[in-house]
Each structure stands twice: as C-alpha cells, then as structure tokens.
Structure 1
C-alpha cells in the first residue's frame, strides 16, 4: 500500500489542512518520499526528505512529535540540513493502518506566528491529524480495493477470453452484460456495440428459454450462412434468487471433435501397430499407406477377424484428417429401423420415442474426419440409395428435418461378404458398389500369412500375461507347430481369443499341446492329423511360406532373387527348395 496510489486526494488533503490552519503541510510515504506538499515544498513533490530528518524518527517510533527550532533541536541532530533549515517548528504525525505505517503528515511553521499556533493548539492538532490519518488510510485502502478489483476483473476477462467456448452474460431479461472474444468470433458480433442490448435483438434467429438449463443444439444464420451450435444456459444464483444468466456457446463441430479426441485418444493406431511382415500383409499395408492421404473412398475386404478396422484407423491416422473424428459404425449390429436415424440423425419429435432435442447422426459426427462403415454388405437395401446420395451430394437431411446439412468426410467401408454375388442377386446396388469400391484393399486371412503367426502369438501372450497379472508364459514347440498348421477360420481375432484363454487356464509357464482349446484339438484329429512327424510338419510349413512369397512377388528370376534376399538364403538354396515342393 503506497500513498502515491492516492496522490491526487492526498494533495487535496494537504491543501485543505494548509487553508484551515494557515501553515504549510508535507505528507510523505513510508520511504520518506514527498507525496504531497504546500507552500515552499510544493515543487519538491516526488523527492526524498533529507537524510536523518525528524520525520524519519517519527516513522521509526510511530509516535507524534513536536520539533522546536530544527536547526538546534537534538531531534534533528543527524539531519543533513541542520544549521541551514528554514523551518522554525514542525508537528509530525505517523499515518497508520492498524500496525502498518503508511507515511507521515507534517505541519510546518516558517514564522513565529505559525510556530506559536502549533505550540498553542498542539493537543487539538494531534486529534485533528489522527482523524486525517485515518481518512488517508481509508482512502488508500479503498483505492487499493478498486485496483485489486480491476486486476481481478481483467484477470477474469482474460481467463474467460481464453476459454474454448463462447460466453455471453445477460440479465434476466436477456440484456447483454458481457461477451467474450470466442462468442464474438462465433457470432460475428462486436462487444463494444452490444452491451446493454437485448440478445434477441442482436441474434434474431436465436431461440432461448431461460427456464431450461439442458444443452440444446440450434442453427443460427451467421453472415448469411446456417451454422450449428450447442448452447447451454447456466443461471447465476444469489441467495436462491436468479440474478443473471451465463450462456455457453459451442461450435458443434469443435465440440464433437473434442469429444472424439478424448474418446479416441487411446486408439491412435498406426501402420506400425499392425503386426505382420509376410508378403501379402506388407502388400496390403503398402497400398493402404499409399492412399491414406487421398480423398477417395476405400473398400476393405477380408474375412471376419482379419483386422479391417485396424487398417481403417491406421489409414485415418496417416491422413490429413487425423485431427478430426474417426467415427465407426457396424451396419450389421443395429436394427434396420434404427440404422437410418443412427446415420442421418433426427430432429426432435421426428418419431415416437425420439429425443425432444433431436440427435446428431454419424454423418455429422464424422464431418471433416473419417466415417468407417463396417459390414457394409449388411446395409439394408432401402438405405443404400440414401447413402449414395450423401456421397454424391455431400449433404443430407436429418430424419424429420427440412434443412440440408453440408458434410465432408472420407468414407472407408469394409465387408467380409461377396458384394459382386450380392449384386447379381439384387441384394446390393451396383451404383453404390462402384462408389465404394474406388480403392479396394484386400486384407489376407491368417492362413495366408503363416509367417506372421509366431509374431502375433508372442505379442498376444505378452499382452495378456501383463493384463491378467500372470508370469510370462511361453509356447512349447508342439504348440507353435500346431498354430502354424491350424486353419484359423476366425483369423487374428480367433488367435487372440485362444491365447487369452490359455493365459487364463494354464498354471505352468509352458503352454503345451494338451492345453489347447477343444475345437483346435478336434481339428487335428481329422485328416489334418496325418502328418505326425516333425519333418512333415516343417516341410508343410516351409512350403506354405514359399508359396505365399511367390504369390506376393512373382515367379521370374528377378522375383526369386528378391525372395532369396528377404529369406536370407542363397538363390541356389531357394531353387532347391522350390523343386522339392514342386513350386517351380
């Protein structure tokens, strides 16, 4: 607290005292800097008093004093002006705020008449100065309170301006009291021109009910464009009485983006996370990476459990849309009568059981991002032309809606069904098929990527031992051989489930052949069990690997040189093995 914060009012007090008492006045702060003065000292405002002057003693003792004849007074013994001081007498009084010193008030006599007055009225002057000291302390406290309030107000404004959503404060009638910069940006308004005006006058298309406090989605006309916002009213209550309203405004797209960023934070799959370096798998990954930045639709084809959604997520996260939502929906898992509302969304009251506020659909949620339609072959025939229209026009209407909503998403579809056969049977529209099948990518089944089984098995056993808090287990040689020979109709998903089962039920660290699930053991009791010797098992494993590499790279001499290099064997060794397995 410093008296210079109220320098103007302090000077007014000094001049009032001087006018009433007909003496000169000096008021200093705790550092003995002159804050206010009259008469001869007025031009010294802002400067320090002489060193070791009587005011310093008054400040240290915090008690009033009368100094007679400063040039010879013992109280001014150390003063640097002693012997040349023009003052004849001084009354000094400390200005206190409780125990805290704020400064000193001095009444100064430069002639005998003034000196006699100070001597004669000393006791009354001390009472008078006490009251003035309290007045100055109160003024300073008030000024500091105002300064602190201004600081807090400015800090609060900066904090509110820094929020990710728009904020408008209104009174109970809707008259605007405050608008943050985000709301100005969203609604294209200038807070300098709208304070104390009705929000309904400023935004005519805004419909608010100050008695409902649930978030609602609304569309507003901003610069002749229809834009979607989510608005929530928060009442400000004082002693159970509503005194004003805080209106939160979120851009629908940014709100959805933030929600999906939060939900998808742990699903940041990249191509490095997709395990497998067998030839067919490498081919699928290379193709997916190559087209990730394209805007064209992708159709992922492969059996159930091959990892089509992993590929879809990796493509999204390698694209220019990676910071926007990835929205997945399984067309086979939602009843036909609900799927349209799930995709398109609906307006409030569009059908029996619909939410009063309506609901956004997956098309809107995926705006600027990626929409993944899994099991596209199960999309009902009556919805197929509607999906096609959305893809062609890049706009749609909600169920029960009248307004076209523009949308921009990248479509990735996936299926394990034969769409060409479905087209011939009239179960899938040919025009939609060609719109989806712009970039077809085949995900190989596990039986065609035998070389990846061991890597996948090691990954899953580490994953589930850690997840289930078990000691790390390992597979016996016989189990590894069985895994490489098994058909895996459920593909990678089945392999993962089998390993999770084994980690749960096997007590020893080694997982043996007899621990395998019933269905796998039954598989080897049939015709597949005739290869009993280790040599036959290994020969069969080697043949399948060589066959998959030939299918991936080709059968020319140059192709075989590449295969030999990948397998780290001589070309002559490769030819010998190809002859052995009749693969030439």
Structure 2
C-alpha cells in the first residue's frame, strides 16, 4: 500500500466522516472508529463508544460473526434499537490474508423514503425465502455442512481449508484421514458443497454401521429375486443414488476384503452391476473416503488391498487432531455455545477464562466431539449465564484418569518397543541377517521388516 502524504490524511478522515454510517472494529470486536453521523443515530457518545465491544453499542450486530467466519455480508436490513432501519454491508478487513478487523457501512433511511425501504424489505424477505429454499434443498440432497462450519484459524487448519478448496474443483477420489471426532464427515460435506456437483446428490454410507452380509446390496443394489427376502422390483444401491453427485464411504477401513475387489472394479471401470444382475451400467460418481486408521498398516497386515489403497489415495486430506490446534479452542467454544443455545433453548452467555486455560492444557483424545459434549454437559447444568469452573467437575475427573492412563500406557509402550527390537535383533542373529528368513520367522512381510529396521536403527551385519 502506498504511503499517504501527511497533508492528505485529513481527506481520508473526512471521507469516512462524510459517509452515512460507518463503524470499524478490531478482530476482538472492539470499536476503533465510529463516525459522527452513526454515533448520532445510535444516540451514543462517540468518544465513549471507542474501545467498547460493538455488541454493547449496537445490540444484534453480526460484526463479530463476520470476524470469525471471514465472510462478507452485503445488503442486510438491520433495525436499530430506536426503530431506524439501515441497510448494512459488513466486510472483513484483511492484512496479508489474515483478518484484522471488520468494517460496517450503513445507509440510513428517512421518513420520506418509506417506499424505498418497503422495496428493500421485500427484496430482503424474498432473499431470506430463497436462502431457506436452498437450505431445504441441500438437506434433501444430503450435504448439510460447508467450509465456513470448519471453525478455526490455526495455521494447519488454514492450510487444510485451502487444500479442500483445491480438491473440491477436481473429480479425483479423496481420502480423508484423521482421528475419531476430528470432523472427517464435515470435511466431506464441504468438498461436495464447493464442487461443481453441489446441486446434485450427496450420498453417505458408513461401512462400519452395516452388517457385512448387507453391505454389498446397500452399496450396489440388487435385482428382484436376487436372494431370499429380496424386495419386489429390486433395490437401488448407493452408487445409483449418487449418480452425477458424490458418494461418501465412511470408515472404508471396515469394508470386508471380498467387497474391496468389487469396489476396485467400480473405480477402474466406472460401472456398477447390481447383486443378482447380469448387465453392468455406467455411473458418474465422485468418491470420497474416510478412515480413522492407517491404511498402509492395514495393507502390511494384509487386511486391506494394496491396489485399492493406491486407487483411493489420489488426494489425501489429513485433519489435525485438536491437541495440535489448541489455539482454536476459544473459537470452537464460542461456536458450540451458540449452537447449544439454539438447539436446546438455553441462554449461556460465555465461559470462564480459567476453563479455557484448562481446555488448552488437555490433549483431547476424543477431539472436537469430546469438546462439544463437555460444553453441552456443563450448559445443561447451568441453563444460563457463564459456564464456571465448578460445572466441569466431571471433566476434571476424566482428565485426571486420562493422564494416569497415559502414564501407564507410556510404560507399556516402552516395554513393547524394547521387546520388539530385541526380538528382531535375536532373529537376525539366528538367520545370519537373512531378511527373507527373518521375516518368515517373525511372521511379517519383508517390507514391514525393513521399516522396523529403519525405525529402530538396526544395522544388518
């Protein structure tokens, strides 16, 4: 940005003062600028308002939400506490790609502009109806979440969001990896919503939730009379339902091996054949997979097909666990309090800073899901007001048990590692460092043995 000459700074100041209504906040929602015209309509002292939380000066404002989401809001109709109607544009202010504040520009109405305001209100009403219809349509098609609902500004999360935006524009298969409770399904929804297929169906199937003997028919469908108890007319499978759109196969690591080969053929040939059918048909489906296990380890254990692994791992999105993004906890807590208030009809106004500090000193094995459940439990005890430390007694007990268990597991893991290393060294001595023979005695693949030699820094004689 070019330097502004000292003699021109007044011009910029008077430009802001000449506008009908403008207020600027920092990233924390504190007012740093309020022009005279807006202060007058708000009936507040301009100098006293500076430094205050914008929600205290303008009740009902959404500037703090724009600061959190980074999404501008244009043309919103807003009613001030004195009954004055304003048309508001809220814009995030960024520096080097990072949000540093929010600017809100308002057009104030006058008594003789009622016809104009009526038109604006009608447009606003129609816009709300359109958004509602879009929302209902998206629910029917299955995709409920968007990128904006992935909360956080930590560097690794920002990097992940950028990757999601890129991946969404392609047709390649996607593998989403992450621990339980990190939000893998949410990421899958966001990919579909950002893709060119967003107006088509988003179909989901959890491979762990369906019994193995039913999984094949759920996925591929079946023809009439394919087996005893088959519905008259047959049944459409998930692949057919997702034609033209996206299909999410959750917990792909739970798919039995006999089905993995059939899935591999679908990916390669882009065609599906129903159970009991005799003729395959073409499909156009964007496949998204999730897993909370390391598929490479499953390949080495011969529990997952290696060729399928490479087919589905074209684009990989790894979701960081909550313990690696502890700075996002305040934003997540605010989001969950808002959600809990809305869903349960409570009136929780905030959370004690001591609780936030406690949260940031915990490693969260259950990740974001555990955090949400912890807040919801405390909210149900409080019903309203601030969530104090004494409401989290259950969490404190769980935290202490987890710490104790982790200390015990560290000891067991150390013992296991030492035993494994000693066994490998002993078998190598017995086989005169013959890798094939050693792998056979250890009942592991040669590739796995080589990885362990590298891991434990064992030199072959």
For normalisation by structure 2, the TM-score amounts to: 0.56
Q: CA deviation at 1:290?
A: 0.9
In the alignment, structure 1 residue 294 sits paired with structure 2 residue 136: no
Matches within 5 A, 1:252-271: 261=137, 263-264=139-140, 267-271=143-147
In the alignment, structure 1 residue 518 sits paired with structure 2 residue 384: no
Q: CA deviation at 1:317?
A: 1.1
Q: Which has the higher contact order (CA 8 A, sep 6+)?
A: 2
Q: 1:425 aligns with which of 283, 301, 313?
A: 301
Q: CA deviation at 1:461?
A: 0.7
In the alignment, structure 1 residue 494 sits paired with structure 2 residue 373: no
Task: List per-residue Cα deviations over 1:467-495 (Å, max 9, x = no partner).
Answer: 21222332112111111111111111111
* Cα distance in 2 for residues equivalent to 1:357 and 1:372: 26
Q: Which runs of 5+ in 2 are unaligned?
A: 1-133, 405-461
* Cα distance in 1 for residues equivalent to 2:245 and 2:358: 42
Q: CA deviation at 1:316?
A: 0.8
* Cα distance in 2 for residues equivalent to 1:413 and 1:346: 23
Structure with greater helix share of residues: 2
1:412 maps to 288
Check conservation: 1:498, 1:517, Cα contact below 8 A: no
2:322 maps to 446
In the alignment, structure 1 residue 402 sits paired with structure 2 residue 278: yes
Check conservation: 1:413, 1:436, Cα contact below 8 A: yes
Q: CA deviation at 1:270?
A: 2.2
Check conservation: 2:141, 2:202, Cα contact below 8 A: no
2:240 maps to 364
Q: How many residues are paired up?
A: 270
In the alignment, structure 1 residue 466 sits paired with structure 2 residue 342: yes
Matches within 5 A, 1:174-573: 261=137, 263-264=139-140, 267-507=143-383, 509-516=385-392, 518-524=394-400
Change (3 A) 1:324 1:483: same
Q: CA deviation at 1:267?
A: 4.0
Task: List per-residue Cα deviations over 1:386-436 (Å, max 9, x = no partner).
Answer: 000000001121001112111011111010101111111100000000000
Task: List per-residue Cα deviations over 1:129-154 (Å, max 9, x = no partner).
Answer: xxxxxxxxxxxxxxxxxxxxxxxxxx
1:116 maps to none
Q: CA deviation at 1:261?
A: 4.1
Q: CA deviation at 1:518?
A: 2.1
* Cα distance in 2 for residues equivalent to 1:522 and 1:296: 42
Match of 2:153, SS state, is coil
Match of 1:516, SS state, is helix
Check conservation: 1:367, 1:408, Cα contact below 8 A: yes
Q: CA deviation at 1:451?
A: 1.0
1:54 maps to none
Change (3 A) 1:403 1:263: farther
Check conservation: 2:346, 2:383, Cα contact below 8 A: no
* Cα distance in 1 for residues equivalent to 2:261 and 2:334: 45
Q: CA deviation at 1:262?
A: 6.2
Q: CA deviation at 1:514?
A: 2.2
* Cα distance in 1 for residues equivalent to 2:334 and 2:396: 19
Change (3 A) 1:524 1:384: same
Q: CA deviation at 1:527?
A: 5.7
Q: Which runs of 5+ in 1 are unaligned?
A: 1-257, 529-584
Check conservation: 2:253, 2:304, Cα contact below 8 A: yes
* Cα distance in 1 for residues equivalent to 2:401 and 2:304: 40
* Cα distance in 2 for residues equivalent to 1:525 and 1:302: 24
Q: CA deviation at 1:466?
A: 2.4
Check conservation: 1:465, 1:473, Cα contact below 8 A: no
Q: CA deviation at 1:371?
A: 0.7
Match of 1:431, SS state, is helix
Check conservation: 2:178, 2:291, Cα contact below 8 A: yes
* Cα distance in 2 for residues equivalent to 1:473 and 1:519: 20
Alignment RMSD, CA only?
Answer: 2.0
Check conservation: 2:175, 2:289, Cα contact below 8 A: yes
Q: Which one has a bigger Cα radius of gyration?
A: 1
Q: CA deviation at 1:375?
A: 0.3
* Cα distance in 2 for residues equivalent to 1:369 and 1:525: 45
* Cα distance in 1 for residues equivalent to 2:295 and 2:284: 26
Match of 1:300, SS state, is strand
Match of 1:304, SS state, is coil
